[in-house]
A and B are shown apart, each in its own frame.
Chain A
Amino acid sequence: MTLQDTKVREAASHEAASRPRRRRVPLTPYLFLAPGLALFAVCVLYPITQAVRMSFYDWKIVASATSEFLGLDNYARALEDPQFWVALGNTGFYAVATLVPQVVLGLAVALLLHKRSPAQPLYRVLYYLPVVTSWVVVSLLFRFLFADAGLVNFALSEVVPVTDGQISWLADRWTGMVAISALGVWKGIGWSMMIFLAALQGVPTSLLEAATVDGASRWQRFRAVTLPAIRAALGFVTIMLVIGSFNVFISVYLMTGGGPAGRTDVLLTYMYHQAFGNLDFGYGSAIAVILTAIVLVLSLVQLRLFRDRDAGQVP
């Protein structure tokens, strides 16, 4: 373990040393950044500023109409809107219910698949299949599976008799959210598996072998060698999953439509209803901005959690 730590430390300090001196005006990095950041600024950042601006107005979508400036009224309205809190609660539920299984199971599958075997490529495809199926199709499919007379009820009563098979999954808030989360997990495991598989390529085999020679158990090797080596990937996956879970939309829209009576609404389905259903783009934008702010804070916290240790080692 100590051996490994030292190596990482060394690598980190070398990296720091290899960076160009700060005093010179660094032109090279900006040349590398230019195409990407320019495109990003024009096509993403500028529209974001427009969306934020909308949230301060009673926004009239047609340019010729004058929009009334409301200040923070749209934000205040959200805080007093019970439906907003229902949607926020459901979004939180979805985030928690999908994040942990996707990370744990995705990593578990990646570890199992990392060892070479003739069947490995086949397994990879099978596990990845849900990821590449379109959201629209799988959402409709899951609505079908969780229907009153669907496969899930059939499986839970006829195959594994644990219920009476009479659950109306999509007719109630929490069972509905469970069904929606099940889809999220099912579709997401292959995605996190992919990243972990790629990251596992970067785990130095020499270290693993050295640890084995030292008599470290399987779990110890995982903790001491593998986990630190895939830290960046782990951070990336959790951040992306949190972002993704707060942006859940199509699956809810198509599986329950937010129903019954808005009880399975998530932030984005509610925002969509306000913006495109009621043409209230000001309020819709305010909801979107709140959502972004929540996710941003969560991501920065995570970024700190996953980076801190490395950063601390740079002298």
Chain B
Amino acid sequence: MKRLPRSALALAATVTAMLAVTACSSGGDSPPAADQDGSTSENITLTFWGSYGNGGHSAQQDVLNNELIPAFEAEHPGVTVEYVDIPYDDLLQKLTTSSAADELPDIVRADLGWVPRFADLGVLVPLSDVMPDWDELADAVFPGVLATNYYDGKYYGLPLNTNTRVLITNPAALEAAGRDAPPSTFDEFVAMGEALEGTGITLFADGGLGAWNVMPWIWSGGGDITDAELTTSSGVLDSDANVATIEMLVDLYRAEKISSGIIGNEGAVSTSEGLPGGNYATILDGPWMTSIWSEQFPGFEPVFSPVPAGPGGSVSVVGGEDIVLTTASEHQEAALDFIRFTQTEKFQMALVPTGQLTVIKALGDKQIEIAPELEVFTRQLETAKNRLAITQGAEVDAILNAELTPAFEGKVSVREALQNAAARIDELLPR
């Protein structure tokens, strides 16, 4: 009975000691406090949040930390850039909580869909107002990606890197279907599905029915989600062209030529493993897949081709990240310098081999020189479009998933599903 009290006392003593240590260490190295007097002081630390570190695939983060940031710091003595890697899936939550407590970093690499919502919160600095050289920088980038930074009359960021989805085909499936090239039109796509019957290979797979997933089909089919002025979705999303496009997909799905992953079955083989694994013949995906497969499935040689063309041509969706400056930054000038640095050839080209496409128009050719396999993506980007530039992009995805899934399951007609989705999207549009 006496043993416990004594050991408990010892524990208590340990706690006190440990707490003291923790307290000291936390007091000792708090960087924000150290550079409080900003512009005049010698040493400035810029904090930069992003999710370059893509799991075990650290190629991008390595280039940033070992090459680019040191180069910037060498050019700007006294400025230190501290890059903080945050898991992509959690970055949005962290940005949200940090906005609430006014604890944002200086610079953020944000998904392009997030810029309007954070601009709406008032936590981003409008770059078009504070950069004297704005016009010059804006003119250099692809207009499609620049547009993702536009909110309420101002630009709140600059595009950092871009990407788009193209059709990726497993060569073995091409052979099984008796084709020598990937399908280039909707008709060829459907025909390939028929040719694959009995082979055990599923024609197509995708991971959902959000805008990122269905918009390439809708645009290529000649339709859209709203009118150009963002005033209405009804009458646009439920157009005959869209009904035909979605019906094509639904028919393929009902004939088991599209994997159930598209309606959100997390149990379906994922696209990144099912394509090289021979389960799927084609997927739509981005340029980052190359580096993933080279590690995980050496020897797999995917075939890249443009999104199959429908009545509207071959039109894909723009993805990527923008770089933004937060109102919390106490070192605006240094941060703007870093943002300018991200637009340089050095920065842009260093990340190309890791699957990050450049946003600078003039660098397109050079990019293909460095990474010839990116040519299809570069070409596809010329016509690629943006998703809706509104604050509730996540809600649009939720609506599309919720309304289209029953259509794929055959519970409602495609027209009805699109009408329902359009009615709900109408409510989100600014009037």
Asked whether any CB of A lies within 8 Å of a CB of B in the complex, the reply is: yes
Taking the complex as formed, is A126 at the interface, i.e. its CB lies under 8 A from any CB of chain B?
no
Q: Which of A61, A171, A255 contacts B99 (CB 8 A)?
A: A61
B248-292 CB contact bits vs A (8 Å, 1 = yes)? 000000000000100111111100000000000000000000000
Chain B contact patch, size range: 20 to 34
Contact at B402–A171, with CB atoms within 8 Å? no
Contact at A168–B99, with CB atoms within 8 Å? no
Contact at B123–A62, with CB atoms within 8 Å? yes
Contact at A64–B122, with CB atoms within 8 Å? yes
**Given known contacts A61-B99, A62-B99, A277-B394, A260 and B122 CB-to-CB distance under 8 angstroms:** no
Contact at B392–A170, with CB atoms within 8 Å? no
Q: Which of B117, B266, B391, B403 contacts A256 (CB 8 A)?
A: B266
Tell me, in angstroms, the Cα distance from A150 to B265 when the chains sit together: 13
Q: Which of B269, B391, B394 contacts A147 (CB 8 A)?
A: B269
B97-140 CB contact bits vs A (8 Å, 1 = yes)? 00110100000000000000100011100000000000000000
Contact at A255–B266, with CB atoms within 8 Å? yes
Taking the complex as formed, is B71 at the interface, i.e. its CB lies under 8 A from any CB of chain A?
no
Contact at A171–B263, with CB atoms within 8 Å? yes
Tell me, in angstroms, the Cα distance from A228 to B328 when the chains sit together: 60
In the complex, chain A residues 143-179 whose Cβ is within 8 Å of any chain B Cβ:
143, 146-150, 168-171
Taking the complex as formed, is B398 at the interface, i.e. its CB lies under 8 A from any CB of chain A?
yes
Taking the complex as formed, is B395 at the interface, i.e. its CB lies under 8 A from any CB of chain A?
yes
Which residues of the partner chain B approach A60 to less than 8 Å between Cβ atoms? 121
Taking the complex as formed, is B96 at the interface, i.e. its CB lies under 8 A from any CB of chain A?
yes
Contact at B260–A171, with CB atoms within 8 Å? yes
A37-81 CB contact bits vs B (8 Å, 1 = yes)? 000000000000000000000001111110000000000000000
**Given known contacts A146-B267, A148-B265, A277-B394, A61 and B121 CB-to-CB distance under 8 angstroms:** yes
Q: Which of B102, B122, B268 contacts A168 (CB 8 A)?
A: B268
Taking the complex as formed, is A262 at the interface, i.e. its CB lies under 8 A from any CB of chain B?
yes
**Given known contacts A261-B405, A277-B394, A278-B392, A62 and B263 CB-to-CB distance under 8 angstroms:** no
Tell me, in angstroms, the Cα distance from A235 to B93 when the chains sit together: 36
In the complex, chain B residues 375-428 whose Cβ is within 8 Å of any chain A Cβ:
391-392, 394-395, 398, 401-406
Main secondary structure of the interface of B (DSSP, over half): helix
Tell me, in angstroms, the Cα distance from A176 to B406 when the chains sit together: 16
Taking the complex as formed, is B181 at the interface, i.e. its CB lies under 8 A from any CB of chain A?
no
Which residues of the partner chain A approach B208 to less than 8 Å between Cβ atoms? 259
Tell me, in angstroms, the Cα distance from A164 to B405 when the chains sit together: 25
The smallest C-beta distance from B151 to any residue of chain A, in angstroms, reads: 14
Contact at A257–B122, with CB atoms within 8 Å? no
Contact at B266–A63, with CB atoms within 8 Å? no
Taking the complex as formed, is A276 at the interface, i.e. its CB lies under 8 A from any CB of chain B?
yes
**Given known contacts A65-B121, A279-B117, A170 and B263 CB-to-CB distance under 8 angstroms:** no
Contact at A278–B394, with CB atoms within 8 Å? yes
Tell me, in angstroms, the Cα distance from A171 to B269 when the chains sit together: 12
Q: Which residue of A lies closest to B92 (CB)?
A: A276
Tell me, in angstroms, the Cα distance from A259 to B122 when the chains sit together: 32
Which residues of the partner chain A approach B260 to less than 8 Å between Cβ atoms? 148, 168, 171
Which residues of the partner chain A approach B100 to less than 8 Å between Cβ atoms? 61-63
Tell me, in angstroms, the Cα distance from A171 to B401 when the chains sit together: 13
Tell me, in angstroms, the Cα distance from A259 to B395 when the chains sit together: 14
The smallest C-beta distance from A128 to any residue of chain B, in angstroms, reads: 23
The smallest C-beta distance from B116 to any residue of chain A, in angstroms, reads: 11
**Given known contacts A60-B121, A61-B99, A63-B100, A262 and B266 CB-to-CB distance under 8 angstroms:** no
The smallest C-beta distance from B326 to any residue of chain A, in angstroms, reads: 11
A240-258 CB contact bits vs B (8 Å, 1 = yes)? 0000000000000001110
Taking the complex as formed, is A273 at the interface, i.e. its CB lies under 8 A from any CB of chain B?
yes
Contact at B263–A148, with CB atoms within 8 Å? no
Tell me, in angstroms, the Cα distance from A146 to B267 when the chains sit together: 6
**Given known contacts A62-B99, A277-B395, A277-B398, A260 and B267 CB-to-CB distance under 8 angstroms:** no
Tell me, in angstroms, the Cα distance from A257 to B208 when the chains sit together: 11
Tell me, in angstroms, the Cα distance from A260 to B398 when the chains sit together: 10
Tell me, in angstroms, the Cα distance from A170 to B267 when the chains sit together: 5
Tell me, in angstroms, the Cα distance from A65 to B102 when the chains sit together: 12
Tell me, in angstroms, the Cα distance from A170 to B207 when the chains sit together: 13
Tell me, in angstroms, the Cα distance from A276 to B117 when the chains sit together: 12
**Given known contacts A257-B266, A261-B264, A65 and B122 CB-to-CB distance under 8 angstroms:** yes
Q: Which residue of B lies closest to A60 (CB)?
A: B121
Which residues of the partner chain B approach A257 to less than 8 Å between Cβ atoms? 264, 266
Tell me, in angstroms, the Cα distance from A169 to B265 when the chains sit together: 8
Contact at B263–A261, with CB atoms within 8 Å? yes
The smallest C-beta distance from A198 to any residue of chain B, in angstroms, reads: 16
**Given known contacts A62-B99, A62-B123, A262 and B268 CB-to-CB distance under 8 angstroms:** no
The smallest C-beta distance from A47 to any residue of chain B, in angstroms, reads: 12
Contact at A62–B121, with CB atoms within 8 Å? yes
Which residues of the partner chain B approach A273 to less than 8 Å between Cβ atoms? 394, 398
**Given known contacts A277-B394, A277-B395, A61 and B96 CB-to-CB distance under 8 angstroms:** yes
Which residues of the partner chain B approach A278 to less than 8 Å between Cβ atoms? 392, 394-395
Contact at A276–B96, with CB atoms within 8 Å? yes
**Given known contacts A148-B267, A169-B267, A261-B401, A62 and B122 CB-to-CB distance under 8 angstroms:** yes
In the complex, chain B residues 296-311 whose Cβ is within 8 Å of any chain A Cβ:
none
Which residues of the partner chain A approach B269 to less than 8 Å between Cβ atoms? 147-149
Q: Which residue of B lies closest to A175 (CB)?
A: B267
Contact at A171–B264, with CB atoms within 8 Å? yes
Contact at A259–B401, with CB atoms within 8 Å? yes
Which residues of the partner chain B approach A279 to less than 8 Å between Cβ atoms? 96, 117, 121, 391
Which residues of the partner chain B approach A255 to less than 8 Å between Cβ atoms? 266
Tell me, in angstroms, the Cα distance from A170 to B264 when the chains sit together: 8
Q: Which of B93, B99, B102, B402 contacts A262 (CB 8 A)?
A: B402
Tell me, in angstroms, the Cα distance from A146 to B102 when the chains sit together: 42
Which residues of the partner chain B approach A65 to less than 8 Å between Cβ atoms? 121-122
Which of B92, B264, B403 gathers most chain A CB within 10 Å? B264
Contact at A150–B402, with CB atoms within 8 Å? no
> 3 closest Cβ contacts across the A-B interface?
A259-B264, A260-B264, A171-B265
Q: 15 more A-B contacts (CB under 8 A) besides A256-B264, A261-B402?
A: A61-B99, A63-B102, A147-B269, A148-B260, A168-B260, A170-B266, A255-B266, A259-B265, A259-B266, A260-B401, A261-B263, A261-B264, A261-B403, A262-B401, A273-B398
Task: Sample 6 A-B pairs with CB under 8 A, ordered by A number.
Answer: A62-B121, A147-B268, A147-B269, A148-B267, A170-B266, A259-B263
